[in-house]
Amino acid sequence: MNIQETKNQFENLKSSYDSLGRNVIESLKILLQNENIQTLSIYYRVKSSESFLEKITRKSYEKPFDEIEDICGIRIICYYQTDIEKISNIINKEFNVSESEDKETTLDYNQFGYRSYHLIASVNSEWEKTPNFRGLSNLKCEIQIRTILMHAWAEIEHSLAYKTELQTPIKFRRKLHRISAKLEEADEQFEELKIESKKYQIEVSEKVKKTTDDKLELNIDTLQAFMDANFPRRHKNLDSTGELLDQMVHYGITLDELSGHWKKIKPKFLDIEKEYLLENKGGFTKWAQPGIARFVLDLFNENFRKRLKSEQTRNKINEYKEKYFA
């Protein structure tokens, strides 16, 4: 094998591998978004010429473009262990997967090492009909799927250069075993917390729907459940719900107080909203969930209303209170 010819061939193909990585991650983002799977990041890298040639020499490859499957490497970092299986199922469905391996299954019970799910994939022939993937179906990429904690371990392990137990000084092995076990346990506990949180949200939602007299704790789950039950067709955003929660805590407003105010305004709300927005915004665009809650509190809680910087706005809201609830 002529090294210079191989290097030239690699340089000629590099832009194609770059296109492959760029377009695959954009497609993955859309596919995961469609399935409501959140990720911390999705990114890719293409091997450098030096790394490519070093691997050929180290592995004694005769047909490097067939044998090296990670020239283009894609990494997906997700939040929960169950997301790994969901993501791998999507990749198996949408791509041509020639190989897959769960690195965790290769570890003995007393071994430490990085956990990750690896797939070797290429785009299917249908995708090649689109301009973005034209001419790329003959190229392979390696896709790694990890949780955040798996990724943290892999990065720290790499910086320490202790990739295997044999490479690790005996005096450090016990500590690394403990760290690895703690991270694995934390991954499992985050998964359990996710499940328990979903269960709690359902329980809270049922209580809110029944409008019982129970005093519900004010937190982001109870506040969101209240808005889902009372403003179900309005846009919601957990970040905005969190900001509203902080404001309510700051002004000492309880969920029970918000609920009581909503009961007063509910029969008249749509008329008030339409009139207010047409008069003050020059057009009618319905409020999102937190916007409704803030308007309700502005109407009935003078202390909460003080947060508004415009005195004119404060006075206007007070006029609506007097007009509809005097």
User: CATH number of the domain at 3-186, out of 1.20.1260.10, 3.30.460.10, 3.40.50.620, 3.90.1150.10?
Assistant: 3.30.460.10
* Residues annotated as part of the active site: 142
Phi-psi region of 145 (alpha: psi -120 to 50; beta: other; left: phi over 0): beta
Question: Percent helix, strand and coil across the chain, each rounded to 5?
Answer: 65, 10, 25
Residue 266 predicted with pLDDT over 50: yes
> Has residue 189 got a pLDDT over 70?
yes
How far apart (Å, rounded) are the C-alpha atoms in residues 259 and 272? 18
Query: Is 88 within 8 Å of 117 (Cβ atoms)?
Result: yes
pLDDT higher than threshold 60 for residue 281: yes
Q: Which of the four pLDDT bands, split at 50, 70 and 90, describes residue 100?
A: confident
Distances, alpha carbon 66 to alpha carbons 48, 291, 321, in Å:
17, 57, 74
Higher pLDDT, 191 or 216: 191
What is the structure's pLDDT at 97? 94
Predicted pLDDT at 61: 87
Low-confidence winner among 78-92, 161-175, 225-239 (lowest mean pLDDT): 161-175
Spell out the residues 6+ positions from residue 45 whose beta carbon is closer than 8 angstroms to its own. 21, 72, 73
The domains of the chain are located at 3-186, 213-325
- Residue 190: CB atoms within 10 A of its CB come to 16
Share of the chain above pLDDT 70, in %: 91
